[in-house]
Amino acid sequence: MQSLSDMEIRDLMYLEASAAAGNFTHAAKALGINTSTISRRVGRFEDELGLAMFERGHAGVRLTTGGKAILPHIRRALAELDAIRHAGDQNGNGIVGEVRLAVRMPPVGEPLRSLLSGWRERHPEVVLSIAELNEWEIQRAERERRIDVALMTSHTLWPDAVTAPLYRERIVAAIPCEHPLSEHDAVDWKSLRRETFLVQAWDNSHSAREFYSSFMGCGVRFESHAGSKQCVFALVAAGFGITLATTSQSEVVFPGVVYRPIREENAWVQVELVWCPGAEDPAVGRFVAFMRDEARSRRLF
For 39-68, the pLDDT digits (tens) are 898 888 888 888 898 999 888 899 999 889
Please write down the HEC assignment for all residues of the chain: CCCHHHCCHHHHHHHHHHHHHCCHHHHHHHHCCCHHHHHHHHHHHHHHHCCCCEEEECCEEEECHHHHHHHHHHHHHHHHHHHHHHHHHHHHCCCCEEEEEEECCCCCCCCHHHHHHHHHHHCCCEEEEEEECCHHHHHHHHHCCCCCEEEEEHHHCCCCCEEEEEEEEEEEEEEECCCHHHHCCCECHHHHCCCEEEEECECCECHHHHHHHHHHCCCCEEEEECCCHHHHHHHHHCCCCEEEEECCHHHCCCCCEEEEEECCCCCEEEEEEEECCCCCCHHHHHHHHHHHHHHHHCCCC
Domains of the chain, CATH where assigned = 4-92 (1.10.10.10), 97-297 (3.40.190.290)
Over residues 99-120, the mean pLDDT reads 88
Over residues 146-157, the mean pLDDT reads 92
Q: Is the pLDDT of residue 120 over 60?
A: yes
Q: Is the pLDDT of residue 7 over 70?
A: no
What's the length of the chain? 301
| Per-residue CA distances from 238 to 176, 183, 184, 247, 275 (Å) | 7, 17, 20, 21, 38
Q: What is the mean pLDDT of the chain?
A: 88
pLDDT band at 94 (very low <50, low <70, confident <90, very high): low
Over residues 281-293, the mean pLDDT reads 90
CB atoms within 10 A of CB 248: 20
User: What pLDDT, on the 0 to 100 scale, is given for residue 207?
Assistant: 83
User: What pLDDT, on the 0 to 100 scale, is given for residue 8?
Assistant: 80
User: What pLDDT, on the 0 to 100 scale, is given for residue 92?
Assistant: 57
Nearest one of 232, 267, 273 to 112, comparing CA atoms: 273
pLDDT band at 5 (very low <50, low <70, confident <90, very high): very low
User: What pLDDT, on the 0 to 100 scale, is given for residue 103?
Assistant: 92
Q: Give the pairing of strands 257-261 and 196-200.
A: unpaired
List residues bridging with 268 in a β-sheet.
170
For 189-245, the pLDDT digits (tens) are 999 999 999 998 876 667 888 888 899 888 899 999 988 888 999 999 999 999 999
pLDDT band at 93 (very low <50, low <70, confident <90, very high): low
